[in-house]
Each structure stands twice: as structure tokens, then as C-alpha cells.
Amino acid sequence: MTRHATALTIAGSDSGGGAGIQADLKTFSALGVYGTSAITAITAQNTRGVFAVEGVSPVVIGAQIAAVLDDIPPQAIKIGMLASSEIVAAVAEAITGYTGPVVLDPVMIAKSGDALLARDAEAALIEWLLPRADVLTPNLPEAARLLHRSPACDAHETEAQGRALLGLGARAVVMKGGHAAGPTCIDRLVTASGVTAFEQPRIATRNTHGTGCSLSSAIAAELARGAGVEQAVRRAQAWLHGAIRAADGLGIGGGHGPVHH
């Protein structure tokens, strides 16, 4: 009997269904992986914005993770929205004994501009979780904020910031290029052995809500299925490109709609 690949997402709930836990589980399903979840925060949200955020108690977050690890051990974990330093600490503690790959998406600010991580939790994220990340997936503003620098605006600085994040303990960094200008979208995988660029034509759409969540969970799904890091990033980026291309056909909500999982 072949055991089905499983992946755990530790992230926030998006009531609008486009980002967070909901995007992660849809992505896992789309890529043939059984998804489990530990919810860190509940957001009241739709395609137009975030209207309320409440963190789940650290004890209940730890209990969700322990329950999953005990009975449905994942072949990869994805970590997304963490909301506060107490939640960062609870997650770091709960995954202490986990030896599989961890994909860390340093979620800070939603596309709507709403804060998803308290300012005072950034240091906790750097100290307790960055060193646990086999793959860190910042967009350019998040990378800059983690490093207290200005967002990179060329390839040289993007790669330099990727290497600086390796210096903080991540084993690999995907510098997501979606926020940069240009006719193509270039994600750069930075590891100790060098830089690999993954390029796709830029798609003109406002329906990009949850793209970051979906990319990091697609990488986790590919790792759970046994891919190496470079292959996982390549496949995840190609899959997300198709999901963004199909997004306008969904017609969900009046703001920044979701991608088509």
C-alpha cells in the first residue's frame, strides 16, 4: 500500500477563501497531497480587505500541531500568518521535534495593506523560526523588512538580500519577484550553492489575492511528494502561473479576487 503524501499548514484563516489556510488546503488538494491544518488566527476578510483579526490561543495552536504530528505525520510543513510573538513562540516550540522540511512564508502585510504580523513579532520570527526554515519565501518588501533595508530594485540587490537571509539561518530563500516592475515575473532561489532564476511572463490581473500563500503551500506539497528544493520551486511557480492565468475566469468578489486553485 502506498501511503498518501500529507502536508501540514500552520496559518491564518481567510473567511473569503482566497488566502491563508483555505488557499493552502486547496493548493494541497490541487497537487495531490492530503492537507492538515493548525489555525493560528481568524481573519474576517473578503477580496476587498481585512475587517477583524483574532489570534488563537498559543495553547490551542500547540495542541492542534501536536494532534496532527502525533497521528498524521506530514512530509512537509508550511508556516504562514503568525500574528503575534506569542504565536511565533508557540509554533516554534510545537515543531521542535519535527525533522521534515519546513517552508516559512514570512507573512506581514496583506495586499489590502492590513497588518498580519505585529511589528514586535518580527524579531521573534527572525530568532525562533528563520533558522528552522528549509525554504523561506519572502516577497521583496518582506525581505527588506526582515533585513531593515530598502526593498531591492535590481537583480544584484535581490540576490544580496537573499544571501543575507541565508545568513540569518534559512537553508534556501525564494525571493519572490511579483512586486518588481517588468514584463516578466522572476522568482530567485538563493542557496549556499548559488542562485537559480525562475521566470514567467507577467499576467495583467488584479486577481492575485493569496498568491504568496499558494506558492509556499505548493512548494511544501512538492517537497511532501519527494521533490528536491529546486524542483519543488520550479513546479510550484509553474503551477501558480497557471492558477493566476485562470483567476479572471472565476469572477469571485469585487476586490482583489483569488487565483484558480
The least CB distance from residue 148 to ligand PLP, in Å, is 21
Write phi, then psi, for 161 (nearest 5 degrees).
-70, -35
Among 210, 222, 236, 259, binds ligand PLP (CB under 6 A): 210
If one asks whether residue 62 binds ligand PLP (CB under 6 A), the answer comes out as: no
In the set 36, 111, 211, 257, the catalytic residue is: 211
If one asks whether residue 207 binds ligand PLP (CB under 6 A), the answer comes out as: no
If one asks whether residue 19 binds ligand PLP (CB under 6 A), the answer comes out as: yes
Among 7, 77, 81, 186, binds ligand PLP (CB under 6 A): 81
Asked about 228 being catalytic, the answer comes back as no
In the set 184, 213, 228, 257, the catalytic residue is: 213
> Quick one: cell of 89?
513562540
- Say if residues 129 and 90 touch (Cβ distance below 8 Å): no
Alpha helices in 58-210 (DSSP H): 58-71, 85-94, 122-124, 140-147, 155-167
Among 26, 209, 225, 241, binds ligand PLP (CB under 6 A): 209
- How far is residue 9's CA from residue 22's CA, in Å, rounded to a whole number? 10
Asked about 99 being catalytic, the answer comes back as no
- How far is residue 234's CA from residue 99's CA, in Å, rounded to a whole number? 23
* Subset of residues 116 to 145 that bind ligand PLP, contact rule: CB under 6 A: 116
If one asks whether residue 225 binds ligand PLP (CB under 6 A), the answer comes out as: no
If one asks whether residue 14 binds ligand PLP (CB under 6 A), the answer comes out as: yes
Asked about 212 being catalytic, the answer comes back as yes
In the set 36, 40, 43, 208, the catalytic residue is: 208
Nearer to ligand PLP, 39 or 170 (CB): 39
Nearer to ligand PLP, 191 or 220 (CB): 220
126 three-class SS: helix
Among 26, 111, 188, 225, binds ligand PLP (CB under 6 A): 111
Q: Which residue is nearest to ligand PLP, using beta carbons?
A: 20
Helix/strand/coil percent split, the chain, to 5: 40, 25, 35
Strands (E), the chain: 6-14, 34-45, 50-55, 76-79, 102-104, 135-136, 172-175, 184-191, 194-201
If one asks whether residue 80 binds ligand PLP (CB under 6 A), the answer comes out as: yes
In the set 176, 177, 185, 191, the catalytic residue is: 176
- How far is residue 247's CA from residue 232's CA, in Å, rounded to a whole number? 22
Write phi, then psi, for 111 (nearest 5 degrees).
-60, -25
- How far is residue 99's CA from residue 75's CA, in Å, rounded to a whole number? 9
- How far is residue 38's CA from residue 47's CA, in Å, rounded to a whole number? 23
Segment interacting with ligand PLP, rule: CB under 6 A, options 9-17, 27-35, 90-98, 189-197: 9-17
Q: Which stretches of the chain bind ligand PLP, using CB under 6 A?
A: 11-12, 14, 19-20, 43, 45, 80-81, 107, 110-111, 116, 209-213, 256
Catalytic residues: 176, 208, 210-213
